Structure 1
C-alpha cells in the first residue's frame, strides 16, 4: 500500500463472514475442520517437546541399569518406547504443519456464518442463532437476535484455568432478554482485567457515532466514509495516511504506548452512570 500497488488476495473471493469497517464489526471463526489442522500442528509440537522433556530422566535411569552398551540400550528404548511416545506427536506436528504451509486450500475455509455483529450505522447488536428452532438444520435459515446497543451491559466473568489461575473474559449481556456475547474468541482470557476493560472501551467508542472511529490501522481506509470521523479528521488535520506511511520503529513505539495505556486503564475508578437507573441482581 505504501507504494500505491495492490497486492491481490488469493482468498479474496471467499466470504469468511468477517466485516470490520466504518459500518459494522462482524465476527466469525474458522470452521472446526480448519481448527483440526491447527490443533494437529500446534498440539503435536507442544506434546512432542513436553514428552521429550518428560522422557529424559526415564531414559538415563533405564540405561543406568541396562547390562547392554549405551548404544544398544538406546536403540532398544527408542524402538520399543520412543518410536511411538515421541513419534506420534512428531508425526502430528509434521502433518499439520505441512498442510498449513503447503496446502492452504485444505484448511482455509469459511465457517457456516458469523457469530455476532456490532453495527455502528444502525446502533444494533446482533447475535446469530444457529438453533433457530430447528430452522437452520431444516433449510439453512440463520436466526438473528437483535437489540439496541444501549440495552446491553458489559461484564467481566472470572473462572479458574486448569492450574487454578483466574481467567477473565468480557461478556456483553442484554438487560432484558437472553442475548449474550462472549468475547473470549476475540480476546483470549487472561489473568489481568485491564485488556477486557480496554476492549469494552473500544466497543463503546466504535458504537458511539458522536465520536470518530477508533484510530486503528484497520480503519484507516474507511475513515473518510464515516461522517463524524471525516469531520474530525478535517478539523484536526489528521494525516489520512497516518498508519500506512508509519515506519516500523514508530509503529512499535506506538504499540508499546497503547499497551501502557491499557495497563493504566482507570475503568473501575470511573463513576457508574447506570447505577442511577438500574438495579443489578447477582
Structure 2
C-alpha cells in the first residue's frame, strides 16, 4: 500500500526565494565555448593542460543526478557533523547555494586532505595487520604485536581530537570548497590568499574532460575541470571509477544551476526545494510531499540508489553524447528517479532520525573525525 501524507498545506511554499536577474536560465552562449583562452594565455599548469581538452555538452546527458553523496553524505546532512560545511561557510538553504569539494592546490588544503587520507589508511591498516598476524601466526603472534594495536588506536584518537580542536578554533581551511549559487547564477571561488571570493557567471565555465591515472596501479579516475573560459579559476574533480559517474556529477551541477528546470529529486537538494520558485511550483503541481527525503527510511533510499545506478551505468557512452541520442538507443530513465515519492510505501509524519549501525557506532565513529 502506498501512503501519501500531504504536508504541502502548511504554507511552506510561500518561502520561495526570488531569482536575481543574473540567474542562469540554461541557454548556453556559444561565445564562451568558441573563445576559450589557449594555453599560452594561461598562467597555471593545470589550466594550460585542461583548456585544450574537449568539453561536456550543457544539454542533458544521462538524465540522472544521483551520485555517491546521496547515501554517504546524507546522514551528515541530516544530523549535522564536524563536516557540516554549510554552517562553516554560513550557507542557508534559502540562499540556494551549494558548496562542493574541489581538489585544491593550496598547500594547507592539500595537507588537510593528506591528513584525512592517512587517518583512514591507518584505521583500516592497523586492524588488517593484526588480523593477518592472527590468521597466519596464531594467538601468540597477535599478542606479540598487541602494542601496535594499542599505540595505533591511541594515535587515531589523538589525531581525531586534534582535528576537532583545530576545527573549534576555525583553523581547518574551507577554501577548497566551490560554491554554486542558483539564485544569482554565479560560481564563488576562493582567491589564492583565501581572504575573499571571485564571483563569476556559471555560463562562462566549461566542463573539460579529465582523467587521472594512479602512477602505481595505472588505474584511471574520471572527472572534469570546470574551467573559466578565460581566467585560471576552476572547480576540479577526478574521483570516479567510470566516466558515467563524472557525467552524473556534471548533470547534478547543471541541474542545480538551471533555473528553468526543477531541482532533481535527490536527498542532497531536499533543503532547497521549499525555497526555489521553479521547484516549489513543480512540487505543488505534482503533489509531492514536502521534506520527502527526511521522512523515508534508508531502505527506500537504497532502492532508489540501486535503480539510479543501474540506469546510469547502462548509459551508452560510446553511442550517445546526449540523453536525446541515448533514448534512440533504447536507454531509459526509470520513473522512480524522477518521482521517487510515488513508489514509497511509507512516508513518516515526522522526520526520521538516522542512526549508524552497531559496528559504525562502536567501532568506527569513536576513531574517525
Q: Does 1:153 align with 2:215?
A: no
SS of 1:145's partner is strand
Q: Does 1:248 align with 2:301?
A: no
Q: State which of 204, 207, 211 in structure 1 corresponds to 2:261.
A: 211
**Given the superposition, is the C-alpha separation of residues 46 and 242 from structure 1 closer, same or farther in structure 2, using an over 3 Å criterion?**
closer
Q: Does 1:42 align with 2:120?
A: yes
Q: CA deviation digits over 1:66-108, x for unaligned, max 9?
A: xxxxx8xx79x94xxx57xx72x752333314764x8884364
Structure 2: tracts of 5 or more residues without a match? 6-77, 103-107, 324-369
Q: State which of 77, 89, 96 in structure 1 corresponds to 2:156.
A: 96
- Say what the alpha-carbon RMSD is for the aligned residues: 4.2
Question: Which residue does 1:128 correspond to in 2?
Answer: 190
- How many matched pairs? 236
Question: Which residue does 2:221 correspond to in 1?
Answer: 167
The alpha-carbon deviation at position 49 of structure 1 amounts to: 4.7
SS of 1:182's partner is strand
TM-score by length of 1: 0.65
Q: State which of 165, 170, 174 in structure 2 corresponds to 1:106.
A: 165
Question: Which residue does 1:25 correspond to in 2?
Answer: 98
Q: CA deviation digits over 1:92-149, x for unaligned, max 9?
A: 333314764x888436444344431111011111210133xxxx6xxxx33x233211
What is the distance in 1 between the residues matched to 2:221 and 2:129? 26
Q: CA deviation digits over 1:173-207, x for unaligned, max 9?
A: 111221111134xxxx1331111110000000000
What is the distance in 1 between the residues matched to 2:282 and 2:276? 10
**Given the superposition, is the C-alpha separation of residues 40 and 198 from structure 1 closer, same or farther in structure 2, using an over 3 Å criterion?**
closer
Contact persistence 1:26–1:117 (CA under 8 A): yes
Deviates most, 109-118 or 27-36? 27-36
Q: Does 1:236 align with 2:302?
A: no
SS of 2:303's partner is helix
Deviates most, 31-40 or 212-221? 31-40
Contact persistence 1:114–1:128 (CA under 8 A): yes
**Given the superposition, is the C-alpha separation of residues 41 and 194 from structure 1 closer, same or farther in structure 2, using an over 3 Å criterion?**
same
The alpha-carbon deviation at position 24 of structure 1 amounts to: 0.8
Q: CA deviation digits over 1:4-40, x for unaligned, max 9?
A: xxx996878x942274735111246997897687556
Question: Which residue does 1:275 correspond to in 2?
Answer: none
Contact persistence 1:41–1:97 (CA under 8 A): no
Structure 1: tracts of 5 or more residues without a match? 61-70, 273-282
Question: Which residue does 2:250 correspond to in 1?
Answer: 200
**Given the superposition, is the C-alpha separation of residues 28 and 16 from structure 1 closer, same or farther in structure 2, using an over 3 Å criterion?**
farther
SS of 1:169's partner is strand
Higher RCO by CA contacts (8 Å cutoff, separation 6 or greater): 2
**Given the superposition, is the C-alpha separation of residues 41 and 221 from structure 1 closer, same or farther in structure 2, using an over 3 Å criterion?**
closer
What is the distance in 2 between the residues matched to 1:33 and 1:166? 23
What is the distance in 1 between the residues matched to 2:252 and 2:136? 51
The alpha-carbon deviation at position 160 of structure 1 amounts to: 1.3
SS of 2:294's partner is coil
**Given the superposition, is the C-alpha separation of residues 179 and 266 from structure 1 closer, same or farther in structure 2, using an over 3 Å criterion?**
farther
Contact persistence 1:18–1:27 (CA under 8 A): no
